[in-house]
Structure 1
Amino acid sequence: MIRLSKLIITKMQINGKSCTVCAHIHDQKVVEIHLKPVGVTTALNNIYVGQVEKIAANIQAAFVRLGQDFNGYLPLNQAEQVIYTDGRKKESALRPGDEILVQISREAMKGKLPALTSNLNFSGKYLVLTSGNQKIGFSNKLSKEECRILNNWLEEERNDENRTYGIIVRTNSAEASKEEFFRELDMLKKQYEKTVVFGRSRTCFSLLYESEPFYLTAVRNTYTKELEEIVTDIPEFYDRIKESLEQQDSDEIQLLHLYQDKLLPLYKLYNLEGAFDEICHEKVWLKSGGFLVIQQTEAFVSIDVNSGKYTGKKKAEETYRKINLEAAEEIARQIRLRNLSGIILVDFINMKNPDHQDELFHVLQKYLRRDPVKTRAVDITPLHILEMTRQKVNRPVIEDIRMICE
């Protein structure tokens, strides 16, 4: 298999502030990028002993205090499997004053409090352990044969009547040896036990589980089947990543490289400045001469596909088809690059041929499947607007850039 993807981890100045940047490069294009100002940590995926302050029935949520001037909101549909510190049954209704275990599932966005969940997740490269849903599930990107093999490996877990956690088998597990698979499972079990079992006896507002540095999370979450290289020019990051991969006894350690060319910084070699500049502009030009206009509103993201420089009338239908197909690939890249989420509406150039519309829909779906964040094309409306959704996890990259500017 030809490996086309690289994970780049570096530091660069953004609006005069030093930031750590993780970028995924696929086929020589930046397709995903994350940044954190140096010295700023994230609370995403942290697990706390929180205290319920208020139940807001009108918005179906509980407001939970996590510490001094630190609150989050717990949607009640995420509170069906609550773990109480006093040992009460999970089925009991939440009440103000209850002390419960919660995990930050989404960072604060646009002035909103961070979102919480009581379904605690412990993520590895191959597996995720969950405290709420006790089923065993498989990534839908795994083939039937891969699922069959991995399901056989988990037969003992499936038949364990005392199992109190669920297991999600991730896409990367297809590349794992049986030894690597069970080594990680044992590690996640220990994390689960330390947090869920012993965490119940900890004092209120205790931090039970702290997420790893975000560049390590990027390494762990990268789909390794197409990964060619993990490159960093930060010696301390290189040492930390190497230590983590050695602990996992992972073959990926062979992909890790320390970049040491001081004449050409790593961020310039891969034009990360260009990627950030691209994110800050609404208009994106296509090679065909067409262009996209990407606008984010409070309610949804709108993407308009324009024919741009094409003005001819001959073979217009075929030209529009080609522009739309090129746009589909670029749209899939842009929503991942910008980390857009929620409802996304795409106004492609109208095509009269129904076969061309069906082709466009399926081509877009093919490109969306490359996105590690759950993304789904829903349908094309009678007004020829394509509706799609993308799961909300982190803030859009443009918001991170604006926060750095403040």
Structure 2
Amino acid sequence: MSEEILINVTPRETRVAVVENGMLQELHIERGWRRGVVGNIYKGKVQRVMPGMQAAFVDIGLERAAFLHANDVMRPPQTGNDGEGGGDSLFPSTAPTLPVTELLRDGQDIVVQVVKDPIGTKGARLTTQISIPSRYLVLLPQSRVVGVSARIEDDVERTRLKTLVSELAAATGGHGYIVRTNAEGQSAEALAEDIAYLQRAWALIEHTTGDSRVGARVYEDLTLPMRAVRDLMRRDVDKVKVDSRDTYEKLCIFAAQYLPAPGPAEQARLVDRIESYTGTRPIFDLYGVEDEIQRALKKDVPLKSGGYLVIDQTEAMTTVDVNTGSFLGQRNLEETVFRTNLEAAQAVARQLRLRNLGGIIIIDFIDMVDAEHKRQVLRTLEKSLSKDHAKTTVYDFSPLGLVEMTRKRTVESLERQLGEACTACNGRGIVKTIETVTYEIFREIVRAVRQFEADRLLVIASPKVVSTITDEESAAVVELEEFLGKSIRFQSDDQYLQEQFDVVLL
């Protein structure tokens, strides 16, 4: 499998595309004036504790107060049997079961980390369980536990990594760590360098926190290009191509200093896989990424077989409907449906990654009778989701034949990042028909005449509406004028949308 990471840099926007076998799989966007805040650590102040919600609102210097749930708050360290002491600690220890009023108080200073960007009208989601990621590890400064990613399945390798990291941790302060998937097969030297980096980062955060004011950012995650190299550059990534010389040089320095050489089995060093793209054609155009982005903003997703998906994103959930379309199959209906659903399962997994859809997701596969076919479709979906960096949970077919799943959401979906509600329909997805608007105008004319005195009326509306009224509905206009005893004139205006109109009394 061929995999490349493409980085497109412009003065106000950076985009990172992950391309597998020539097909776009992921897209990450960072805009200079609206960088995400996930991973950032702030010194905040508790604005208001909400016992009924088991949560609190915290001022961290952003536009809206951030949200901190009791389950994400660490228990203050205990100094005696009475439980007193340590309540003002900026770095408490874990305990999600206590009432929020015993964990926080109004006006309390607290160090928090953002786990979810502000989305829509909701403020950022916070935690006091600080974690700092590196290439192979995640530092848990308030814990002493060493865990290993579930995606490392080999028991011997899991044991090796856990033993190695536990020994290194004990020798460097005894903090807790999570061993990331990228650590599989890495040497003790590589892991030791990661731990040394994380120790330096945490020491700096502790030092900075003491001198910082409320609302100050005491730690900022890396820029998007560096995060992409840190998190996405695995062994199966052939190249990282970047179209900015300045960013290329920074990435080379970052890779050489921060990312250790993976080991003797690696055919090329990480820095050798980073290339500066200097072609005249835009890099995203060369790989067809721009076209894929435009397709990812559409509801319909065509399948190679002739079937298609319809993806609808709402406030509460995302729904995916699978249709056979023009695919007729060659054997029987059950086989046709099965083949379409198999292809759809792979396409759904890709679309969720590409569109960055999260929360509750409902997939309406075409109804299948054979229980084995259902199991194979579900296995195909789970296997296709295994490459997803976001955590996913898939449930079995429901009695109605629906597959329910969840996908962890930390930032806005691609649609919400690149688009906004249509001004013509206010986000409904439809506009009223010309006929509907016409009859609304007639009712508004009657209402206006009964409320106010006027000899004549002027109706201003869109050209299409006015054309329909003066042509197809001209007889109705004559009847209305006779009924009201008023003269009615119509005027078209290109600035009016189909649903907009004004009735003016003259």
TM-score by length of 1: 0.91
Are the equivalent residues in 1 in contact too, given 2:328–2:336 (CA < 8 A)?
A: no
Letter in 2 for 1:138: V
Q: How far has the Cα of 1:11 moved from its partner?
A: 3.5
**Larger relative contact order (CA 8 Å, sep ≥ 6):** 1
* Superposed CA offset, 1:216-251 (max 9, x none): 111111150211111111111101111100112442
CA distance in 2, matches of 1:97, 1:57: 15
CA distance in 2, matches of 1:42, 1:119: 19
CA contact (8 A) 1:72 1:116 kept: yes
Please give the alpha-carbon distance, in whole angstroms, between the structure 2 residues aligned to 1:175 and 1:39.
39
> CA distance change for structure 1 residues 343 and 391 in 2, over 3 Å: closer, same or farther?
same
Corresponding residue number in structure 2 for 1:235: 245
Deviations 1:172-205 (A, max 9, x none): 0014322111101111012122224662453322
Aligned residue-pair number? 398
Structure 1 pair 246–159 and aligned structure 2 pair: CA distance change class (3 A): closer
Who is 2:200 aligned against?
190
Structure 1 contact 18–38 (Cα < 8 Å) conserved: yes
Equivalent position to 1:245, from 249, 255, 269:
255
Tell me, yes or no, if the aligned pair for 1:118 and 1:132 is still in contact at 8 Å: no
> Structure 1's 270 and 376: CA in aligned 2 closer, same or farther, altered over 3 A?
same
Change in Cα spacing, 1:123 to 1:81, as seen in structure 2 (3 Å) is farther
**Aligned pair partner of 1:169 in 168, 179, 182:** 179
Identity of counterpart residues, as a percentage?
Answer: 29
Cα offset, 1:97, TM superposition: 0.7
Q: Secondary structure of the equivalent of 1:225?
A: coil
Distance 1:152 1:404, change over 3 A: farther
Output the amino acid matched with 2:159: R
Give the 3-state SS of the residue equivalent to 2:74 in structure 1: coil
Query: 1:166-315 counterparts in 2 under 5 A?
Result: 166-196=176-206, 199-200=209-210, 202-248=212-258, 249-250=260-261, 251-262=269-280, 264-311=281-328, 314-315=331-332
Q: For residue 83 of structure 2, what is the aligned residue in structure 1?
A: none
Provide the TM-score with structure 2 as the length reference: 0.74
**Is the contact made by 2:306 and 2:327 (CA closer than 8 Å) also made in structure 1?**
yes
Query: 2:156 is matched with which residue?
Result: 145
The 3 A distance-change label for structure 1 pair 106 and 349 is: same
Matched with 1:134 is 144
Which amino acid in structure 1 is aligned with residue 59 of structure 2?
R
Deviation, structure 1 residue 287: 0.3
Deviations 1:8-43 (A, max 9, x none): 10136xxxx953110101121100001123454332
Structure 1: gaps (5+ residues): none
Describe how 1:47-86 pairs up with structure 2 within 5 A: 47-67=41-61, 69=63, 71-81=65-75, 86=88
Q: Which moved more, 1:61-70 or 1:238-247?
A: 61-70
State the distance in 1 between where 2:87 and 2:245 align: 42
In structure 2, distance between residues paired with 1:365 and 1:238: 36
Work out whether residues 85 and 99 of structure 1, in 8 Å CA contact, stay in contact via their aligned partners in 2.
Answer: no
Cα pair 1:81 1:132 within 8 Å, conserved: no
**Structure 2 CA distance, aligned partners of 1:326 and 1:381?**
20
Distance 1:200 1:378, change over 3 A: farther
Matched to 1:147, the amino acid is R
After the TM superposition, which of the residue ranges 220-229 and 126-135 deviates more from structure 2? Answer: 126-135
Q: CA shift at 1:94, angstroms? A: 0.3
C-alpha separation in 2, matches of 1:188 and 1:405:
45
Name which of 70, 81, 103 aligns with 2:113: 103
* Matching residue of 1:124: 134
Q: Is the 8 A contact 1:85 1:101 kept in 2?
A: no
Give the one of 333, 353, 356 matched to 1:339: 356
Instruction: Give the AA of the match of 1:352.
Output: V
Separation of aligned partners in 2, 1:69 and 1:265: 36
* 2:226–2:251 contact (8 Å) kept in structure 1: yes
- C-alpha displacement at 1:161, in angstroms? 11
SS of residue in 2 equivalent to 1:96: coil
Following superposition, the deviation at residue 157 of structure 1 comes to 4.7
Q: CA RMSD in A?
A: 2.5
Q: Decide whether aligned partners of structure 1 residues 47 and 85 sit closer, same or farther in structure 2, where only a CA change above 3 A counts.
A: farther
Given that residues 82 and 119 in structure 1 are in contact (C-alpha distance below 8 angstroms), is that contact kept between their aligned partners in structure 2?
no
Give the Cα–Cα distance (whole angstroms) in 2 for the partners of residues 169 and 179 of structure 1: 15
> Equivalents in 2 of 1:243, 1:85: separation in Å?
43
Distance of 1:57 and 1:337 partners within structure 2: 39
- Dislocated runs of 4+, deviation >4 Å: 81-86, 88-92, 157-162, 311-314, 403-406
- SS of residue matched to 1:224: coil
Distance 1:301 1:134, change over 3 A: farther
CA–CA separation in structure 1 for the residues paired with 2:166 and 2:196: 15
Structure 2 residue 19 is the aligned partner of structure 1 residue 8 = no
CA contact (8 A) 2:146 2:166 kept: no
The 2-side partners of 1:4 and 1:175 are apart by 21
Q: What is the deviation of 1:405?
A: 10
